[in-house]
Amino acid sequence: MNERETRPEKGAEKVPVITIDGPSGSGKGTVSRLIASRLGWRFLDSGALYRLVALAALARRDDLADESKIAIVARELDVEFKLDSDAGEPQILLEGSAVGGEIRSETCGDAASRVAALPAVREALLARQRDFRALPGLVADGRDMGSVVFPDAALKIFLDASPEERAQRRYKQLKEKGMSANLAGLLDEIKLRDARDRNRSVAPLVPAVDAILVDSTHQGIDEVVTGILEAWSQRS
């Protein structure tokens, strides 16, 4: 995010937001990017912000449990997202340098879920996330987008899938990238991360009361995207 983007837009509350929350591996990243691209809206990958805080803290060798230190890292994070017009993953610059594949590693995901459990870190990222809200609209992907960050969102989706299916998807993804993977190990990590995300004291991973629950266990990405776009067209 550059400095110009960090200033709140006037009348930001009138900008429509679609929130897509859910656990990792539910497909929400891909689904959110596709919906943003179809609608011509902006896209917020809030998980990337937590992952970037974790990366920056790991690089500084900070103790991931040191709440005040990690909150400073979150507040001072110098990050810019360069959007890809083809709905691919945006390029991320941390302190001006492109972040590589390490941001998507299990180590980084695990560290992100640790720092995400710290209330001061969540607080430090709140305004940054809300600053993504700009016309013509925003699709926000995360865990607490509908419940905490954009409670007035026009449409809230909670996308889920069974842990076994999510582990399979992750396994396939890693294999396709030529990386080594162990299905049983991935399932354990997913369950551990879910438990941490669902049981933390602040902004736990729970559907907002007014969210539509979508189970993607037996649905392909296209089917999920079509369903959400239909729900949106019925509301607007």
Q: How far is the CB of 27 from ligand C5P (least distance, A)?
A: 11
Q: How far is the CB of 233 from ligand C5P (least distance, A)?
A: 26
**127-158: b or e for each residue (b if 16 or more CB lie within 10 Å)?**
ebbbbbbeeebbbbbbbbbbbbbbeebebbbb
Q: Smaller CB distance to ligand C5P: residue 109 or 137?
A: 109
Q: Which window, 9-17, 62-70, 112-120, 224-232, contacts ligand C5P (CB under 6 A)?
A: 112-120
In the stretch 165-194, what mask flags binding to ligand C5P with x, by CB under 6 A? Answer: ----------------------------x-
User: CA triplet 159, 34, 179: central angle to 5 degrees?
Assistant: 80
160 binding ligand C5P? (CB under 6 A): no
- CA proximity to 198, closest of 126, 120, 141, 144: 144
H helices present in the chain, as ranges? 3-6, 28-39, 46-59, 67-76, 106-115, 119-130, 163-176, 183-199, 221-235
111 binding ligand C5P? (CB under 6 A): no
CA dihedral 150, 12, 50, 171 (to 10 degrees): 70
| CA pair distance 131, 7, nearest whole angstrom | 6
Q: How far is the CB of 144 from ligand C5P (least distance, A)?
A: 5
Residue closest to ligand C5P when measured from CB atoms:
47
- Residue 40 near residue 159 (C-beta atoms within 8 A): no
46 binding ligand C5P? (CB under 6 A): yes
112 binding ligand C5P? (CB under 6 A): yes
Structure tokens given for 100: 């590589």
Q: How far is the CB of 54 from ligand C5P (least distance, A)?
A: 8
109 binding ligand C5P? (CB under 6 A): yes
144 binding ligand C5P? (CB under 6 A): yes
Which of 24, 32, 147, 216 forms a contact with ligand C5P (CB under 6 A)?
24
Footprint on this chain of ligand C5P (rule: CB under 6 A)? 24, 46-47, 50-51, 109, 112-113, 116, 142-144, 193, 197
